[in-house]
Amino acid sequence: MTATGNTILITGGSSGIGLALAKHFLLMNNTVIITGRNLAKLEQIKAEFPEIIVFEGDLTNENSLAKLVLFIEKHHSDLNILINNAAVQFNYSFIEEKELADKIEYEISTNFTAPVKLTGFLLPLLLKNKNSAVINVSSGLFISPKKSASVYCATKSAMHSFTKTLRYQLEETGIKVFEIIPALIDTPMTEGRGKSKITPEKLVDEFMRNFKSDKWESYIGKTKLLKFIHKISPKTADRIMKNGL
């Protein structure tokens, strides 16, 4: 993939991994559009990086999703890279959780339904434009899940599977399909928990090497080791991950 001269949409680009990707792609002379739910956060980023284009909206909301697609079609029809990065992680017990239904619905919608729909809606543009790619962010937790984030891990397994089948479906087209499989990264999502986290910038460095050489799956940091352990002893990998890191 060519890492410069692209028009890139990054969902959840207002924080953590998405923001690090946005800054990097901006430095590499790309047009970068980021989305997030929090307008104040987006405005703060815009003040620091006036070239970044921002779009506010909760992607679980059908109207917001439709507005985003319309905004891209109308103002950025040269879009050639979609990065499905936005996600939430809820940690709770199925026995004790009082807002179970709302949490299940919101997490599945943010982490899986919205990115899958967004991909489908933007495919006509990606097919029309050159050097196109879809980049999905999953998680090492699809390899072995952790107990406390049951639905989150399930959405990441779904994302991993969807990314593979999307790649199969698009193999005769010019659209390349990448997957970023992060280990524990130091972002607001992991604030106050986890040990030996790596920075989002380190993730971007690792990913960019793979992106430029068309390596579809980027196992970041310790997810490489987890994949290896899981291959030789799935039970050991599951035991290591069960209670989180």
Ligand X SMILES: NC(=O)c1ccc[n+]([C@@H]2O[C@H](COP(=O)([O-])OP(=O)(O)OC[C@H]3O[C@@H](n4cnc5c(N)ncnc54)[C@H](OP(=O)(O)O)[C@@H]3O)[C@@H](O)[C@H]2O)c1
Binding residues (CB under 6 A) for ligand X: these are 11-12, 14-18, 35-38, 41, 58-60, 85-88, 110, 137, 139, 182, 184-185, 187-190
Alpha-carbon gap, residue 82 to 219, rounded angstroms: 19
CA atoms within 13 A on the CB side of 228: 7
3 state SS of 38: coil
Cα-to-chain-centroid distance, residue 54: 17
Non-local CB neighbours of 24 within 8 Å, separated by 6+ positions: 201, 204, 208
- What separation in angstroms does the CA of 100 have from each of 58, 104, 141, 243? 20, 6, 21, 21
User: Taking the complex as a whole, how short is the minimal distance between the CB of residue 104 and ligand X, in angstroms?
Assistant: 14
Instruction: Tell me the C-alpha distance between 23 and 89, whole Å.
Output: 24
SS3 for 135-174 is: EEECCHHHCCCCHHHHHHHHHHHHHHHHHHHHHHHHCCCC
In the bound state with ligand X, the residue whose beta carbon lies nearer, of 132 and 200, is 200
Least separation in angstroms between CB 60 and ligand X: 5
Q: Name the residue nearer to ligand X (CB basis): 121 or 131.
A: 121
Residue whose CB is less far from ligand X, 76 or 222: 222
Residue nearest ligand X (C-beta atom):
16
Q: Taking the complex as a whole, how short is the minimal distance between the CB of residue 84 and ligand X, in angstroms?
A: 8
When the beta carbons of 116 and 129 are compared against ligand X, the nearer one is 116
Q: Which is nearer to ligand X, 11 or 144 (CB)?
A: 11
Q: Catalytic residues, which ones? A: 152
In DSSP notation, 165-230 reads: HHHHHHTTSS-EEEEEE--SB-SGGGTT--SS-B-HHHHHHHHHHHHHTT-SEEE-TTHHHHHHHH
Question: Least distance from C-beta 47 to ligand X, angstroms?
Answer: 15
CB of 16 to ligand X, least distance (A): 2
- Smallest CA-to-CA distance from 57 within 39, 72, 43, 79 is with 39
